[in-house]
Amino acid sequence: MTEEEKLKRFNALIEQDEKIEPKDWMPDAYRKTVLRQMTQHAHSEVIGMQPEGNWVLRAPTLRAKKILLAKIQDEGGHGLYLYSAAETLGMDRSEMIQQLHEGKAKYSQIFNYPTLNWADIGAIGWLVDGAAIVNQVSLQRTSYGPYSRAMVRICKEESFHQRQGYEIMATMMNGTEAQKEMAQDAMNRWWWPSLMMFGPSDKDSWHTQESMQWKIKRASNDDLRQKFIDKTVDQAYVIGLTVPDKDLKFNETSKHWEIGAINWDEFWNVVKGNGLCNHKRIAHHIKYHNEGQWVRQAVLAYSEKINAMQSATSL
């Protein structure tokens, strides 16, 4: 098949809403874009273990501790699954991790915000996972097969996390004045960054158009963000939380909640590395990755010894 025919076949698959599988031919730019998105997603799951891990040792009840630990474990599992799925595009995990350490690969900016009180664990589950679900539900229909299947699997667990997060917020809003204050404080700090998780507005997003054409992305940043807002504002009211947006209003004609202006300067500032935890997150990952090197070497040396022994006995 000529390059031209391959491209034609690829475009036809995309056109017919068929999945692109690892062995299919794909344009380099497609491979690069999917790989970038999948590794970024995997890194986000793994880096996201840190802000939640920050409260695992201090969780207030045995039940809360179990739920949080299980949730973090789910996130790590998602990371593992996504790394494997991304490897089908021809890069191995160690290289992905190296890129993360060198700042060449990104992770979600949301994890550069600190978890300062217990309500933050509720806010992360409810808002951050809630925003992630909206995005991931849409990605279940992404054109790259392994990514699409990963999203189907991951969405099931994320909706659990969101409910558990909301439960923490609801419990605190039913509690003492101090607990209510903590919950509102968490809401105030996580609301806007959660909205920023969907990425820049469509008019400013470089990647969107190409990704939409290839059906890597199935909905625009702004549409997904709106979906999240509509769903979440009502949930906030139900438990008595105030959405920290004085311009928030319901548009009776469009039936959508309209928000005030997002502070994109804050977003870009965090992207540039000036968030409270950017440095800590990567430094932590590098530290423990390096500290684990002797373990990885031991595993390798041990398996070489076992292989040598086995081939010696089979001679």
Partner 1 sequence: MTTKEALYNYVLRLADDNLILAQRLAEWCSCGPILEEDLAMTNISLDLLGQAEDFYEYASELNGEKNVDELAFLRSEREYFNHLLVEQPNGDFACSMVRQMLYATYAKHLYEALLKSRDEKLVALATKGLKEVKYHFRHSSEWVIRLGKGTAESNLRAQNAVNELWRYTDDLFEMNATDKVLITQSIGFSLKDIYPLWKAEILHVIDAADLAIPELGNVITGGINGMHTEYLGHILAEMQFL
φ/ψ (deg, to 5) at 249: -150, 155
- Binding partner 1 by CB under 8 A: which of 101, 141, 149, 284? 284
Of the ranges 11-19, 197-205, 263-271, 286-294, which one interacts with partner 1 (CB under 8 A)? Answer: 286-294
CB of 162 to partner 1, least distance (A): 20
What is the DSSP secondary structure assignment for residue 20, as one 8-state letter?
Answer: B
Nearer to partner 1, 3 or 291 (CB): 291
Q: For residue 72, give the nearest of 51, 95, 87, 89 by alpha carbon.
A: 51
Q: Checking DSSP bridges between strand 249-251 and strand 256-258, what pairing results, if any?
A: antiparallel
Confirm or reject binding of residue 141 to partner 1 (CB under 8 A).
no
- 3-class secondary structure, 104: coil
Q: How far is CA 49 from CA 9, 104, 260, in A?
A: 40, 20, 31
Token readout for 110 is 């949301």
Structural Rg of the chain based on CA atoms: 22
CB of 69 to partner 1, least distance (A): 5
d(CA 290, CA 292): 5
Q: For residue 118, give the nearest of 76, 73, 64 by alpha carbon.
A: 64
Confirm or reject binding of residue 65 to partner 1 (CB under 8 A).
yes
Confirm or reject binding of residue 206 to partner 1 (CB under 8 A).
no
Nearer to partner 1, 79 or 199 (CB): 79
CB of 310 to partner 1, least distance (A): 14
- Binding partner 1 by CB under 8 A: which of 8, 9, 32, 66? 66
Residues 81-110 touching partner 1, rule: CB under 8 A, are 83
Mention every residue, 6+ apart, whose C-beta is less than 8 A from residue 230: 256, 257
E-assigned strand segments in the chain: 249-251, 256-258
Of the ranges 18-26, 74-82, 121-129, 170-178, which one interacts with partner 1 (CB under 8 A)? Answer: 74-82
How many chain residues bind partner 1 (CB under 8 A)?
A: 38
Nearer to partner 1, 237 or 302 (CB): 302
Confirm or reject binding of residue 193 to partner 1 (CB under 8 A).
no
Nearer to partner 1, 84 or 263 (CB): 84
Report the sign of the C-alpha dihedral through residues 229, 70, 106, 220, in that order: negative
Token readout for 82 is 């996504």
CB of 88 to partner 1, least distance (A): 18
- 3-class secondary structure, 89: coil
Of the ranges 15-23, 53-61, 122-130, 209-217, which one interacts with partner 1 (CB under 8 A)? Answer: 53-61
User: Where is 256: in which H helix or E strand?
Assistant: strand 256-258
CB of 60 to partner 1, least distance (A): 4
- Binding partner 1 by CB under 8 A: which of 264, 305, 307, 308? 305
Residues near partner 1 (CB under 8 A) are: 46, 49-50, 53, 56-63, 65-66, 69-70, 72-73, 76-77, 79-80, 83, 118, 284, 288, 291-299, 301-302, 305
